[in-house]
Chain A
Amino acid sequence: MENFSELLQTSGFFFLTPGMLVMWVIAFVLIYLAIAKNYEPLLLLPIGFGILLVNLPLANLMAPGEGLLWRFYHYGLQWEVIPPLIFLGLGALTDFGPVLANPRLIFLGAGAQGGVYLTFFIAYFMGFDLKEAATIGIIGGADGPTTIFLATKMAPQLLGSCAVAAYSYMALVPIIQPPIMRLLTTKEERCIRMKKGRKVSHLEKILFPVVAAILLILLVPPSAPLMAMFMLGNLFREAKVVERLTNAAQNELLNIVTIFLGLPVGATMNAENFLQPKVLFIFFLGLFAFMVSTATGLLLAKLMNLFFKDKINPLLGAAGVSAVPMAARVVHKVGAEADKKNYLLMYAMGPNVAGVIGTVIAAGIFLTLLN
């Protein structure tokens, strides 16, 4: 009997705290949403499991220098390896054709970063320090790897909550965006059909990643890790001579690093770190940032319409948040509600991929100014 109670006292059961059990519930909710509701399962499933693992006492999976998940976290995220590799895959998956066909739509990708900056100031005035405020603001860009990249460098204590917020809101794009889109546009505006873009040559598509890498990295040097890999992946794709590398970047490599991205992100969410009132504010502010970004994108498109003779369908502005391609699909669907023969999907991909670049630049600007 004594031996049995001794055994019990060396087991993890004896050291469970109520906070850990609350974290289990959060982990189960994320795992449930991923499996049953298909909400960003590629990320929320490993994140959910990571949360569960780190809240098993005595396992020490996040113990610095020895824990397995700590190693993933340290060498993958702190060493800035994983988010750039994700961007390599995204670059190989991205077709910049729609941007090049309609270059003025690039501005919409910048306009939809409005929520990032507004939320940065609001979070700062609410008492978060500058670096935390920047990390919370970047959620509004709706770009997971960029959020994780910035959080690791600026506010690692917020990494888990900001990443979960970013991926949750991305999964909720089809629910969060349409009401704002309908509120800020008239039916006539939603019916605007876009004028066909110009034809884009193969040479332009090859030159774009090279020229963009040079210009953007010179302009905002701290964005280099993400930007460099994004453009390299795109060059693989457009060069059409390294199909094996393009495929590896798009598929195997992207899948492998996705596993090692989600797990350690979840593992940063232990009970004492996560169960704080400020985490609620992060979720609230992140949602606010995302909604404002949607709105500023729409409003910028309307503003541009005051100056252009060929009107832009303002719905395209909402695609400036970088949730690719969900935001573009939502634009297409809301547009088709107003006029079923209006095909906005490919036009919306322009601001959508420009939005990814916009969010990386926004992160680079924070790194420049705050580090």
Chain B
Amino acid sequence: MAEKILAPLAGKVVAVKINVGDKVEEDDEAMVIEAMKMETEVFVPCNGTVKEVLVKEGASVEEDDVLAVIE
């Protein structure tokens, strides 16, 4: 079952900490988004493997954009 990591808020992706194929656990840090000059961590929602990473560092994201897919 695939689960998406959604952007919890609009901002700029400043760090991507997962790669396709990585084994990840729930609550691992997946990305860092900068909004209002503050860095906010985004966490992995479930255990699994990273199937897709859809954003790169420096990308601007809107709230609820899909950032990555975990399988």
Which residues on the A side are within 8 Å of B27 (C-beta)?
340-341
Contact status A345-B35, CB under 8 Å: yes
Contact status B9-A340, CB under 8 Å: no
A59 proximal to B (CB < 8 A): no
Contact status B8-A332, CB under 8 Å: no
Contact status A329-B38, CB under 8 Å: yes
When chains A and B are docked, how far (Å) is the Cα of A345 from the Cα of B10? 10
Contact status A325-B9, CB under 8 Å: no
Contact status A346-B9, CB under 8 Å: yes
Of A325, A332, A346, the contact of B10 (CB 8 Å cutoff): A346
Contact status A343-B43, CB under 8 Å: no
| Nearest A residue to B36, CB-CB | A325
Which residues on the B side are within 8 Å of A341 (C-beta)?
8, 27, 43
Contact status A340-B35, CB under 8 Å: no
Contact status A343-B36, CB under 8 Å: no
Say yes or no: A345-B43 contact (C-beta < 8 A), given A328-B36, A332-B38: no
A-B contacts counted at CB < 8 A amount to: 27
**Chain B, 22-71, CB within 8 A of any chain A CB:** 27, 35-38, 40-41, 43, 63
How many interface residues does chain B have, given as a range? 10 to 19
State the Cβ distance, A290 to closest chain B Cβ, in Å.
Answer: 21
When chains A and B are docked, how far (Å) is the Cα of A346 from the Cα of B63? 10
Contact status A345-B38, CB under 8 Å: yes
**Chain A, 323-353, CB within 8 A of any chain B CB:** 325, 328-329, 332, 336, 340-341, 343, 345-346, 349
When chains A and B are docked, how far (Å) is the Cα of A346 from the Cα of B35? 9
Contact status A340-B41, CB under 8 Å: yes
Contact status A349-B36, CB under 8 Å: yes
State the Cβ distance, A357 to closest chain B Cβ, in Å.
Answer: 19
Of A336, A340, A345, the contact of B36 (CB 8 Å cutoff): A345
When chains A and B are docked, how far (Å) is the Cα of A329 from the Cα of B36? 8
Interface centre among B35, B36, B43, B63 (most CB of A within 10 A): B36
When chains A and B are docked, how far (Å) is the Cα of A329 from the Cα of B39? 10
When chains A and B are docked, how far (Å) is the Cα of A341 from the Cα of B44? 10
Which residues on the A side are within 8 Å of B10 (C-beta)?
346
When chains A and B are docked, how far (Å) is the Cα of A346 from the Cα of B40? 12
When chains A and B are docked, how far (Å) is the Cα of A349 from the Cα of B63? 15
When chains A and B are docked, how far (Å) is the Cα of A332 from the Cα of B10? 14
When chains A and B are docked, how far (Å) is the Cα of A325 from the Cα of B43? 24
| Nearest A residue to B43, CB-CB | A341
Which residues on the A side are within 8 Å of B37 (C-beta)?
325
Which residues on the B side are within 8 Å of A340 (C-beta)?
27, 41, 43
State the Cβ distance, B67 to closest chain A Cβ, in Å.
Answer: 13
Contact status B38-A343, CB under 8 Å: no
11 contacts between A and B (CB under 8 A): A325-B36, A328-B36, A332-B38, A332-B40, A336-B40, A340-B27, A341-B8, A345-B35, A345-B36, A346-B9, A349-B36
16 more contacts with CB within 8 A, not counting A325-B37, A340-B43, A341-B8, are A325-B36, A328-B36, A329-B36, A332-B38, A336-B40, A340-B27, A340-B41, A341-B27, A341-B43, A343-B9, A343-B40, A345-B36, A345-B38, A346-B35, A346-B63, A349-B36
Nearest 4 Cβ contacts at the A-B interface:
A343-B8, A325-B36, A346-B9, A329-B38
